[in-house]
Amino acid sequence: MKRLSLYLLIFVSFMLALLLNGFAQDGKSKPVKKQTVELKDAKGNNIGSATIKPSGRGVEVKVDAKNLPPGDHALHFHQNAKCDPPDFKSAGPHFNPDQKEHGLQNPKGHHNGDMANFTVKPNGTAKATIKDPDVVLGTGSEPNSLFANGGTALMIHAKADDMKTDPAGNAGDRIACGLITK
């Protein structure tokens, strides 16, 4: 009888260990290796997508979009995972866990979510790969994870970023937005 209890105890411990291991490896704690972001304009139309992947200590963003105004445009990560049209103000300011000023050329900068401009062709399409060394996909537990605090938003602006004017680089209206959530 004693031996049976011992076997039972070992069996229960084993099952518990399996269960806990399962919890530890669920979706919330695994680092994300690739994130696709659907981009929508102010009217709610799909204008393409962006694919985010780890690159170096940060990420690279591959934008593949259409129906945009030709010319140079700012691209930023904003701090809230909200894209309420038409003005996308719900996305909040630039993602800035390091609490710096705006602009890749600002001596007091820059925001984690600041990135280089990209160019839309005369036919309204854009294909660009832009790096951001100051954010990660990660698990969401890192302060600079794009999934931190419920996620972030990828934003395209009407104009180019001047890379120095705080807080948003004189980039004008927010014209397209995509949610970055787990």
Catalytic (active-site) positions: 76, 78, 94, 102, 111, 114, 157, 174
Residue 64 exposed, middle or buried by CB count within 10 Å (0-12, 13-18, 19+): middle
Interior/surface letters 14-44, b for 16+ CB within 10 angstroms, e for the rest: eeeeeeeeeeeeeeeeeebeebebebbbeee
- Using CB under 5 A as the binding rule, whether residue 174 contacts Zn ion is answered as no
| Total residues belonging to the chain | 182
Of 111, 134, 152, 154, the one binding Zn ion by CB under 5 A: 111
CA–CA–CA angle 142, 74, 108 (5° rounding) = 60
- Using CB under 5 A as the binding rule, whether residue 157 contacts Zn ion is answered as no
Instruction: Give the binding range for Zn ion (CB under 5 A) out of 52-60, 66-74, 110-118, 129-137.
Output: 110-118
Q: Least distance in Å: CB of 26 to Zn ion?
A: 33
Q: Least distance in Å: CB of 96 to Zn ion?
A: 7
Structure tokens at 30: 């695994």
- Using CB under 5 A as the binding rule, whether residue 134 contacts Zn ion is answered as no
Q: Least distance in Å: CB of 157 to Zn ion?
A: 11
The owner of tokens 């399409």 is 125
- Using CB under 5 A as the binding rule, whether residue 102 contacts Zn ion is answered as yes
Report the interface residues with Zn ion, using CB under 5 A: 94, 102, 111, 114
